[in-house]
């Protein structure tokens, strides 16, 4: 009975803490809402669209600097902020580049994923989760391969980028996927990694295969992925175990 009361109290404290943490994302959420309202307007200049696109990421950086210093190591903070800033640079390049394939933007996002992989680290290794994501990535590549076959200059770049996204998802989900012991905070990181796959798959299909007219889906999953990964990393010491 006492054990059940303790678990109930611990669960309520966790839920209250999570709600409080989510409230701190209000500036980020408002900036995302502003982007969805103003950016699609034809009267909105290109520089303003680029600014609105990267503004939520800058708010995430501010959140980390204010609330993350006492919750995770300085090393993780630096890597997370570096990944976010490279993502913001990628947003600017993709929004303002006149080149068809936005190579500069993809390069910036590739560097962002390198920092995310470095941040999540190699423990726990969880090879089973890695094998599962290799299968997902193979299906992903088989679908895109026919679209990329005639675009040789960008084919290998796309393959490298997809590999980086898959590795990010693997390291983000290593603590929860096929794991009997997991925490809600780590689950946020897992969902964030998977949303990165959804966002970039939709973007790649729209860019290389056929227009999907789902820019809203791309942006929504992208912002949700960044927020959940940030939330999971900043709160790494909040380890409430589920069995």
**Cis peptide bond prior to 124, omega within 30° of 0:** yes
Band (73; pLDDT cuts 50, 70, 90): low
pLDDT band at 206 (very low <50, low <70, confident <90, very high): confident
Closest Cα to residue 106, out of 78, 127, 87, 124? 87
Share of residues in the chain with pLDDT > 70 (%): 80
What pTM does this model have? Answer: 0.86
C-alpha dihedral sign at 58, 59, 60, 65: positive
Q: What pLDDT, in 10s, does the model give residues 100-148?
A: 456 788 889 999 999 999 999 998 899 999 999 999 988 888 888 878 7
Q: Token pair of 177, please?
A: 């996927």
CA distance 25 to 20: 9
Q: What is the pLDDT of residue 5?
A: 53
Tell the burial category of 122 from Cβ atoms under 10 Å away from its Cβ (0-12, 13-18, 19+).
exposed
Cα–Cα distance, 139 to 173 (Å, whole number): 19
How many Cβ atoms from other residues are within 10 Å of residue 83's Cβ? 26
**Are 243 and 181 in contact, with CB atoms under 8 Å apart?**
yes
State how far the Cα of 28 lies from the Cα of 222, in Å rounded to an integer. 13
**Which of the four pLDDT bands, split at 50, 70 and 90, describes residue 216?**
confident
Total number of domains in the chain: 1
> How many C-beta atoms lie closer than 10 Å to residue 87's C-beta?
24
Say what percent of the chain tops pLDDT 90.
46
Determine how many CB atoms are found less than 10 A away from the CB of residue 120.
25
Burial 95-112 (b: 16+ CB within 10 A, else e): beeeeeebebbbbbbbbb
Q: What pLDDT score does 118 carry?
A: 95
Dist. CA 88–CA 51, nearest whole Å: 9
Give the range among 82-86, 92-96, 108-112, 171-175 with minimum mean pLDDT: 92-96
| E runs forming strands in the chain | 182-183, 241-242
Phi, psi of 182 (to 5 degrees): -150, 160
Residue 2, pLDDT above cutoff 80? no
At residue 6, the pLDDT reads: 41
Which is higher by pLDDT, 95 or 32? 32
Question: Would you state the pLDDT for residue 241?
Answer: 39
- pLDDT at 187 > cutoff 70: yes
The residue that leads in pLDDT, 151 or 187, is 187
SS3 content of the chain, % helix, strand, coil (to 5): 75, 0, 20
Find the domain containing 161 and state its range: 2-242
Residue 214 has a pLDDT of 63
Alpha-carbon gap, residue 199 to 182, rounded angstroms:
25
- The better pLDDT of the pair 2, 169 is held by 169
């Amino acid at each position: 009975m006492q054990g059940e009361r303790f678990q109930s109290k611990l669960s309520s404290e966790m839920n209250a803490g999570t709600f409080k943490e989510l409230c701190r994302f209000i500036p980020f959420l408002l900036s995302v809402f502003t982007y969805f309202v103003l950016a699609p307007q034809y009267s909105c200049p290109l520089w303003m669209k680029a600014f609105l696109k990267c503004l939520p990421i800058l708010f995430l950086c501010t959140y980390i600097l204010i609330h993350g210093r006492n919750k995770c190591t300085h090393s993780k903070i630096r890597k997370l902020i570096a990944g976010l800033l490279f993502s913001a640079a990628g947003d600017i390049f993709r929004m303002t580049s006149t080149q068809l394939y936005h190579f500069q933007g993809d390069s910036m996002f590739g560097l962002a994923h390198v920092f995310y992989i470095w941040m999540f680290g190699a423990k726990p290794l969880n090879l089973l989760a890695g094998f599962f994501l290799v299968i997902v990535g193979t299906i992903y590549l088989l679908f895109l391969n026919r679209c990329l076959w005639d675009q040789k200059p960008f084919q290998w770049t796309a393959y490298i980028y997809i590999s980086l996204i898959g590795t990010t998802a693997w390291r983000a989900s290593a603590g929860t996927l096929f794991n009997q012991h997991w925490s809600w905070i780590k689950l946020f990181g897992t969902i964030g990694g998977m949303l990165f796959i959804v966002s970039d798959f939709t973007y790649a299909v729209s860019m290389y295969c056929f227009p999907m007219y789902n820019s809203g889906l791309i942006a929504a999953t992208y912002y949700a992925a960044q927020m959940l990964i940030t939330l999971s990393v900043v709160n790494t010491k909040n380890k409430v175990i589920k069995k």
